Structure 1
Amino acid sequence: MASKRRPLHSPSSKLNFRPNSETPGWETKGKKPLPEPATVKQVLLMMIVHVCRRTLFVDTSIKVAIYGATLFLVSILADVLPFPKTYFSRSDNVLNQYFVKLGWGWTLFVTSPFLFMTSFTYCCGKRDRILQHFARLGIATFAWYFWTTLFWYIETVYGRCNASPEKFQTKETCLAGGYFWHGFDISGHVFILIYSSLVLIEEARAINGWEGIRDLIRNEEHARNVGDVSVTSNPLRGLSFEEFSNLKESYDKFTVYIRLFFIAMTFLSVLWDVMLVSTILYYHKVIEKFVSGAIAILTWFFTYRYWYTLPRALPNLPGEGLFKYKDVRQPKEPAKRRSITTAPQSNAKHQLPTFMGMPLYGLRNQENREQKDEDTDIETDTQLNSSNKS
């Protein structure tokens, strides 16, 4: 008995139908553009940035506690059990001469360009807002100058020469005569090293969530091009045309340099910690180092953890501009109405996979496409069941 040939357009042949962009009547409006593939250089740079994030962004409370414990305990051990002399115990070593003595200058050298490029981007080129962010470095520079000058004043005014106080009344003449000046020498190096490290950490926080700005720009640009006014959760929706254009241009132009300066800030912070240990082991008394470190920590806490967090305070914290980009989730498309009720899925399924701490937006786009295909199959099956019953 000959088998019956199935019609080419039988209902069962439509079950595997996958509509695409070439199918007439298939609407592509509302589909978000996919991110561009990353190059090898970009991947390698992102790997280095990820390592720097892990190194620099240690919990600040823990780091401050380590600073305090090290200044007190290690200084006592260094006085009781003198450590052997090394290259770092020499005051003329290269790192001490060309980095520590110019410590605040190096901190400004790597932080200022980073602050300018990041603030210019998330402030969309607004000059007044950029200057407000630069005010933080101005305040930090004033604090550095005020405290180090006060340390020098206390040592020189309230100290005395070990030879003849009447003959050598100043520190300069005492040292020039080959004698020693005894005074309360609060360690300016300890202050600079700790305060610089804390400022570097706080200013570098502007890079948190930086990669997500690219996706915000891409989605907002697509929504504006197609005239989609339904998407209102994008933080960039409130920007004007000029502000949005400035954001796009500055983000593309500055991002590579921002990453490079962030790496430099990480290396400088590590160098400051190494030189801090050297200073604790070989220089100053316990009380001189502890007082200096306490002043540095209190100055940082007052500015970055109290002053800049006050409502309507100026200046603002790093990363605060015309839109919010830190820890911002990408806006979801409006859910389509389904003909078949499905059970709620767990939140774990919707969590976006990450690589080196960065979200993989490409995988989410792939999941969205697969979900759309599944929805199409469900709608097709429903229509076929309805036609068969009729």
Structure 2
Amino acid sequence: MDLKTENSSSNGLSPDVSLEKLHKMAEDLILPGRFIFRVLNAALEFITDLLGRLLGSCLVRRHFHLVLSGLVLFGPVLSLWVSKFSIFANSHHFLYRKFLKSTWGWTWVFSGSFIILLSFSAQRSLSLSLRHLSRIGVVGVLWWGSRCLLTLLEDAAGTCYEPVTPPQDSQSLASPRPSLLLLHEDQTKASCLRANMVWRGYEVSQDVLILCMCCLLLVEELSVFGPCVLHAKPLQRSPGTPLRFIFLLCALLLVLWMFLLLCLLAHFPSFPSQQLGGALGYLGWKALYQGWYRLRQSWGCPGLPGEGLIISMDKQPHYC
């Protein structure tokens, strides 16, 4: 007995410590974690169910584009009341640098993840998931083509000028002359701005274009979450936590894009380039989600969101 006691004490183990006590201590630590996880999961289910019903309602789907159009048209009026000393009046703000210049990248990642999780959890068909994911690819191709075309038009319709300040003598210091502009030909808008020169010409706001297009895309794609939840309740198949979490992130991304759009219109008004960008974004959404995506699959279209997920493939889905 003395030898065993000496061996246990030499190994640093107390005879009072046992596996049962360690197991009890672990349970005491796990129980609060499980309780917190259940509370967070219940809050996530409540919030996502509420957002799913809101975004899936016919009122939102029918009139969201009208709300967005009103924001683009009358948003610049807010420039009369906003302060020029606001943190959002700085074009180098963190939100502008990290999100505005990569709007399509954020939208593609979050909406694509949502589409894959939703379609694969509903039917577990890889081909169906890829078909629904192709809608985002088509919008990406449309955005890339629009950006290239608008850049070519801006370069063709604009002119680059270099500010030149004439030399002043001692007699003309009291009344300096306005600076002149020296014309530079064969300059693109990008190269002109990189050289710290002045570009003058007609342009379309690509930031407003992609923000409007992404907002309309997110509303269309997220609107099927609510019907999928209602369809899964009788089958005792509630959407998993990863799907609910990515849906919540997409909804927060939609709020962020609308906030950035409002900041651009209020702090950096540019009429009519911003309104033209919003109109082109609306036309792109109208041509795809209200036009081509409603055609039959024989036309090679990927179909509308939710098609083949919550109803059988041989029935035509009902949309608001």
- How does the TM-score come out when normalised to structure 2? 0.71
In structure 1, the partner of 2:222 is 204
Amino acid paired to 1:90 = N
Question: How far 1:322 sits from its partner (Å)?
Answer: 5.8
Residue 187 of structure 1, aligned match among 194, 205, 208: 205
Change (3 A) 1:188 1:167: closer
Q: Does 1:66 align with 2:76?
A: no
Aligned residue runs from structure 1 range 136-285, under 5 A: 136-163=135-162, 164-166=182-184, 169-218=187-236, 255-285=240-270
Unpaired stretches in structure 2, ≥5 consecutive residues: 1-37, 163-181, 313-320
Q: Is the 8 A contact 1:187 1:284 kept in 2?
A: no
Change (3 A) 1:179 1:98: same
Distance, in Å, in 2 between the alignment partners of 1:320 and 1:176 is 47
**How many pairs were matched up?**
252
| TM-superposition CA deviations, 1:125-165 (whole Å, max 9, x none) | 22222221111011111111111222222222211123333
Amino acid paired to 2:208 = V
Q: Is the 8 A contact 1:187 1:288 kept in 2?
A: yes
* SS in structure 2 at match of 1:105: helix
Question: How far 1:72 sits from its partner (Å)?
Answer: 2.1
Q: Is the 8 A contact 2:52 2:225 kept in 1?
A: no
Distance, in Å, in 2 between the alignment partners of 1:172 and 1:322 is 45
* SS in structure 2 at match of 1:161: strand
Aligned residue runs from structure 1 range 286-297, under 5 A: 286-297=271-282
* SS in structure 1 at match of 2:183: coil
| TM-superposition CA deviations, 1:92-137 (whole Å, max 9, x none) | 1011100111111000111111100111123x22222222111101
Moved more, 97-106 or 162-171: 162-171
Percent of counterpart pairs with the same letter?
26
Unpaired stretches in structure 1, ≥5 consecutive residues: 1-38, 219-250, 326-390
Distance, in Å, in 2 between the alignment partners of 1:55 and 1:94 is 30
* SS in structure 1 at match of 2:99: helix
Aligned residue runs from structure 1 range 105-124, under 5 A: 105-122=105-122, 124=123
Moved more, 205-214 or 102-111: 205-214
Change (3 A) 1:284 1:201: same
Distance, in Å, in 2 between the alignment partners of 1:147 and 1:317 is 22
Q: Is the 8 A contact 2:52 2:223 kept in 1?
A: no
In structure 2, the partner of 1:90 is 90
Change (3 A) 1:167 1:295: closer
Could you say which structure has the higher helix fraction?
A: 2
In structure 2, the partner of 1:349 is none
Q: Does 1:320 align with 2:307?
A: yes
In structure 2, the partner of 1:337 is none
